[in-house]
Structure 1
Amino acid sequence: MSGMYIVVFKDYVTNDQILDAVAGVRSAGGQIREVYTSVLKGFSATIPDSYFSQLQSLVGGPIDYIEEDQVLSIF
Protein backbone atom coordinates (compact mmCIF):
# COMPACT_ATOMS: atom_id res chain seq x y z
CA MET A 1 0.00 0.00 0.00
CA SER A 2 0.95 3.60 -0.46
CA GLY A 3 -0.11 6.81 1.19
CA MET A 4 -0.10 10.47 0.16
CA TYR A 5 2.24 12.53 2.30
CA ILE A 6 3.88 15.94 2.55
CA VAL A 7 7.50 15.69 3.68
CA VAL A 8 8.98 18.91 5.10
CA PHE A 9 12.71 19.34 5.65
CA LYS A 10 14.49 21.62 8.07
CA ASP A 11 15.72 24.99 6.77
CA TYR A 12 19.39 23.96 6.59
CA VAL A 13 18.72 21.10 4.15
CA THR A 14 20.00 21.80 0.64
CA ASN A 15 17.98 21.41 -2.54
CA ASP A 16 20.34 18.58 -3.57
CA GLN A 17 19.46 16.69 -0.38
CA ILE A 18 15.76 17.13 -1.13
CA LEU A 19 16.29 15.84 -4.66
CA ASP A 20 18.15 12.82 -3.25
CA ALA A 21 15.12 12.00 -1.09
CA VAL A 22 12.84 12.49 -4.11
CA ALA A 23 14.99 10.04 -6.08
CA GLY A 24 14.72 7.54 -3.23
CA VAL A 25 10.94 7.76 -3.24
CA ARG A 26 10.86 7.26 -7.01
CA SER A 27 13.22 4.29 -6.90
CA ALA A 28 11.02 2.69 -4.23
CA GLY A 29 8.03 2.94 -6.59
CA GLY A 30 6.56 6.17 -5.24
CA GLN A 31 5.20 9.05 -7.25
CA ILE A 32 6.22 12.67 -6.65
CA ARG A 33 3.43 15.21 -6.98
CA GLU A 34 5.33 18.40 -6.26
CA VAL A 35 8.71 19.58 -4.95
CA TYR A 36 8.89 22.69 -2.73
CA THR A 37 12.09 24.73 -2.46
CA SER A 38 11.09 28.29 -1.60
CA VAL A 39 8.54 28.91 1.17
CA LEU A 40 9.14 25.49 2.64
CA LYS A 41 11.54 22.76 1.68
CA GLY A 42 10.09 19.40 0.86
CA PHE A 43 7.80 17.48 -1.43
CA SER A 44 4.40 15.84 -1.69
CA ALA A 45 4.26 12.28 -2.90
CA THR A 46 2.63 8.91 -2.88
CA ILE A 47 5.09 6.93 -0.78
CA PRO A 48 5.07 3.13 -0.56
CA ASP A 49 4.69 1.85 3.00
CA SER A 50 7.97 -0.03 2.62
CA TYR A 51 9.87 3.24 2.08
CA PHE A 52 7.82 5.41 4.44
CA SER A 53 9.46 3.91 7.52
CA GLN A 54 12.90 4.89 6.17
CA LEU A 55 11.77 8.51 5.74
CA GLN A 56 10.07 8.49 9.12
CA SER A 57 13.34 7.47 10.78
CA LEU A 58 14.83 10.80 9.56
CA VAL A 59 12.28 12.92 11.46
CA GLY A 60 14.22 14.92 14.01
CA GLY A 61 17.26 14.90 11.72
CA PRO A 62 17.02 16.51 8.28
CA ILE A 63 13.24 15.96 8.08
CA ASP A 64 11.19 18.34 10.22
CA TYR A 65 7.89 16.47 9.87
CA ILE A 66 5.77 14.26 7.63
CA GLU A 67 2.02 14.72 7.34
CA GLU A 68 -0.66 12.85 5.50
CA ASP A 69 -1.81 14.90 2.52
CA GLN A 70 -5.49 15.75 2.77
CA VAL A 71 -8.11 17.92 1.19
CA LEU A 72 -9.37 20.81 3.28
CA SER A 73 -12.62 22.58 2.60
CA ILE A 74 -14.08 25.81 3.85
CA PHE A 75 -17.82 26.25 3.95
Structure 2
Amino acid sequence: MSTQSTACIVVFKDHATQDQIDRYAEQINGGGGAVTARYDSVLKGFAATLTASQLQSFQGDDIIQYIEPDQVITIAPPGSDVQ
Protein backbone atom coordinates (compact mmCIF):
# COMPACT_ATOMS: atom_id res chain seq x y z
CA MET A 1 0.00 0.00 0.00
CA SER A 2 1.44 3.37 -1.07
CA THR A 3 1.74 6.19 1.44
CA GLN A 4 2.49 8.73 -1.28
CA SER A 5 0.44 11.90 -1.09
CA THR A 6 -0.06 14.79 -3.49
CA ALA A 7 -0.77 18.45 -2.76
CA CYS A 8 -3.72 19.44 -4.95
CA ILE A 9 -6.36 22.05 -5.50
CA VAL A 10 -9.81 20.50 -5.93
CA VAL A 11 -12.42 22.68 -7.67
CA PHE A 12 -16.07 21.65 -7.79
CA LYS A 13 -18.63 22.42 -10.46
CA ASP A 14 -21.02 25.31 -9.92
CA HIS A 15 -23.93 23.02 -9.04
CA ALA A 16 -22.08 21.43 -6.09
CA THR A 17 -23.65 22.27 -2.75
CA GLN A 18 -21.71 23.27 0.35
CA ASP A 19 -22.87 20.05 2.04
CA GLN A 20 -21.42 17.98 -0.81
CA ILE A 21 -18.10 19.83 -0.64
CA ASP A 22 -18.03 19.40 3.15
CA ARG A 23 -18.55 15.64 2.73
CA TYR A 24 -15.57 15.43 0.37
CA ALA A 25 -13.45 17.38 2.88
CA GLU A 26 -14.51 15.02 5.68
CA GLN A 27 -13.71 12.02 3.49
CA ILE A 28 -10.22 13.38 2.81
CA ASN A 29 -9.51 14.22 6.46
CA GLY A 30 -10.81 10.86 7.65
CA GLY A 31 -9.02 8.82 4.99
CA GLY A 32 -5.39 9.78 5.46
CA GLY A 33 -5.36 13.07 3.55
CA ALA A 34 -5.73 16.60 4.86
CA VAL A 35 -7.64 19.66 3.71
CA THR A 36 -5.18 22.54 4.12
CA ALA A 37 -7.24 25.54 2.93
CA ARG A 38 -10.85 26.25 2.00
CA TYR A 39 -11.80 28.56 -0.86
CA ASP A 40 -15.52 28.85 -0.23
CA SER A 41 -15.73 32.57 -1.05
CA VAL A 42 -13.30 32.57 -4.00
CA LEU A 43 -14.41 29.38 -5.72
CA LYS A 44 -16.03 26.10 -4.80
CA GLY A 45 -13.11 24.08 -3.61
CA PHE A 46 -10.14 23.56 -1.36
CA ALA A 47 -6.45 22.77 -1.21
CA ALA A 48 -5.64 19.35 0.17
CA THR A 49 -3.01 16.70 0.48
CA LEU A 50 -4.59 13.61 -1.10
CA THR A 51 -3.50 10.04 -0.80
CA ALA A 52 -2.91 8.24 -4.09
CA SER A 53 -6.19 6.32 -3.69
CA GLN A 54 -8.15 9.50 -2.93
CA LEU A 55 -6.70 11.24 -5.97
CA GLN A 56 -7.56 8.28 -8.16
CA SER A 57 -11.13 8.02 -6.82
CA PHE A 58 -11.80 11.76 -7.30
CA GLN A 59 -10.51 11.93 -10.87
CA GLY A 60 -13.43 11.77 -13.26
CA ASP A 61 -15.98 12.37 -10.49
CA ASP A 62 -18.91 14.20 -12.09
CA ILE A 63 -19.16 16.83 -9.33
CA ILE A 64 -15.49 17.86 -9.57
CA GLN A 65 -14.60 20.36 -12.29
CA TYR A 66 -10.84 19.80 -12.04
CA ILE A 67 -7.94 18.80 -9.81
CA GLU A 68 -4.56 20.41 -10.30
CA PRO A 69 -1.24 20.34 -8.46
CA ASP A 70 -0.93 22.89 -5.67
CA GLN A 71 2.27 24.72 -6.49
CA VAL A 72 3.94 28.11 -6.32
CA ILE A 73 4.09 29.98 -9.62
CA THR A 74 6.36 32.97 -10.16
CA ILE A 75 6.58 35.36 -13.07
CA ALA A 76 9.97 36.80 -12.11
CA PRO A 77 12.93 35.33 -10.26
CA PRO A 78 12.79 35.88 -6.49
CA GLY A 79 14.59 39.07 -5.52
CA SER A 80 14.39 40.60 -9.00
CA ASP A 81 13.34 44.22 -9.30
CA VAL A 82 10.78 43.66 -12.07
CA GLN A 83 7.77 45.98 -11.93
Q: TM-score, normalised by structure 1?
A: 0.90
Larger Rg: 2
Unmatched segments (≥5 aa) in structure 1: none
Give the corresponding residue for 2:31: 28
Unmatched segments (≥5 aa) in structure 2: 77-83
Give the corresponding residue for 2:65: 64
CA-to-aligned-CA distance 1:24-62 (integer Å, 9 cap, x gap):
11111111111111221011000000211111130xx11
Measure, in 2, the Cα distance between the counterparts of 1:25 and 1:57: 16
RMSD: 0.9
Runs (4+) of structure 1 moved beyond 6 Å?
A: none
Report the structure, 1 or 2, having the larger strand content: 1
Q: TM-score, normalised by structure 2?
A: 0.82
